[in-house]
């Protein structure tokens, strides 16, 4: 067991050397630990890895989730020189529709912001607007600084890539007003009471706590759904998936397309507009 723990620690160091985000690193670590916990004292081989993949499906994990866990484990197996145990991911037909019950609508987003402001959670309300209006990741909130609000742009360095995000004028004014109120003259705007950066966990928790008061299902409310909302609203205006991919920081346009999937209900409406039924 000690050897496995040492391998895991070395694996984490390797991922960080590759400049993987902390979120990705921790996810890989959780997935590998899950497999090792399942494997217990049995001998590591390809059959065991295949059985684990099948077990995940049997336990009700979505195929996409299973694939993400297999990718994490495969990377670990390569790292420890056991590429012979790697297995293929599941073949999944590209989705045509997104799950409507998990998608945050614009009206629900507006209700969240209104509820946060109405209950005295000014920081949370502004944070929701900042993510939704720029499409940044929750890990990129740290780049929303007083300096960025003054210039209307911020340079984000993440996953070995650098991209420039432009901030709407109205958002800049609100950010600077909030910063003055908090007596923040420079640096990050969204800070804890102790003057530290807000963590992903804290942002997530504050958003979840807002759900009940806003009357919105908790499984719809998480930071990445605000990023999806930005993508859909931006695409409605510009209809340029390449530009949107650049703004979101996606290496592949296929990733951006996932953000733009319509719901089944929207697709049915589009079919009706064809007027092919007499």
Decide if pLDDT at 140 tops 70.
yes
CATH 1.10.150.130 fits 1-85, yes or no: yes
Contacts of 33 (CB under 8 A, 6+ apart): 8
Can you give the pLDDT at residue 101? 65
Rounded distance, CA 114 to CA 257, Å? 30
The two tokens of residue 4 are 């496995």
Q: What is the DSSP letter of 97?
A: E
Angle at 162 between CA 161 and CA 165, to 5 degrees: 130
- The helix-helix angle for 122-134 and 223-238 (nearest 10°) equals 40
Q: Which residues make up the CATH 1.10.150.130 domain(s) of the chain? A: 1-85
First to last CA, the chain: 69
Instruction: Give the mean model confidence (pLDDT) for residues 93-112.
Output: 77
Decide if pLDDT at 263 tops 70.
no
Q: 179 near 146, Cβ under 8 Å?
A: yes
Q: Topology of domain 100-267, per CATH?
A: hpI Integrase; Chain A (1.10.443)
pTM beyond cutoff 0.75: no
Q: Which residues make up the CATH 1.10.443.10 domain(s) of the chain? A: 100-267
């Amino acid at each position: 067991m000690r050897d496995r723990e040492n391998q895991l620690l070395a694996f984490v160091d390797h991922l960080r050397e590759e400049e993987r985000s902390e979120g990705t690193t921790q996810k890989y670590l959780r997935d590998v630990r899950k497999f090792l916990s399942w494997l217990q004292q049995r001998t590591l081989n390809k059959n065991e890895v295949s059985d684990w993949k099948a077990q995940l499906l049997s336990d009700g994990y979505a195929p996409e989730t299973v694939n993400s866990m297999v990718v994490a484990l495969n990377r670990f197996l390569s790292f420890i020189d056991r590429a012979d145990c790697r297995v293929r991911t599941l073949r999944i037909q590209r989705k045509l529709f997104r799950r409507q019950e998990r998608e945050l609508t614009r009206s629900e987003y507006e209700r969240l912001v209104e509820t946060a402001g109405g209950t005295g959670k000014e920081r949370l309300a502004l944070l929701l607007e900042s993510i939704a209006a720029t499409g940044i990741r929750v890990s990129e909130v740290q780049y929303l600084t007083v300096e960025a609000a003054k210039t209307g742009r911020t340079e984000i360095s993440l996953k070995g890539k650098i991209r420039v995000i432009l901030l709407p004028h109205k958002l800049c004014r609100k950010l600077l007003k909030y910063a003055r109120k908090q007596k923040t003259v420079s640096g990050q705007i969204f800070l804890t009471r102790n003057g530290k950066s807000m963590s992903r966990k804290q942002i997530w928790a504050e958003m979840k706590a807002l759900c009940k008061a806003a009357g919105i299902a908790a499984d719809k409310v998480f930071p990445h759904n605000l990023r999806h909302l930005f993508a859909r609203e931006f695409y409605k205006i510009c209809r340029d998936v390449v530009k949107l991919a650049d703004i979101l920081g996606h290496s592949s346009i296929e990733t951006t397309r996932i953000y733009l999937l319509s719901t089944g209900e929207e697709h049915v409406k589009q079919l009706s507009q064809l007027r092919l039924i007499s």
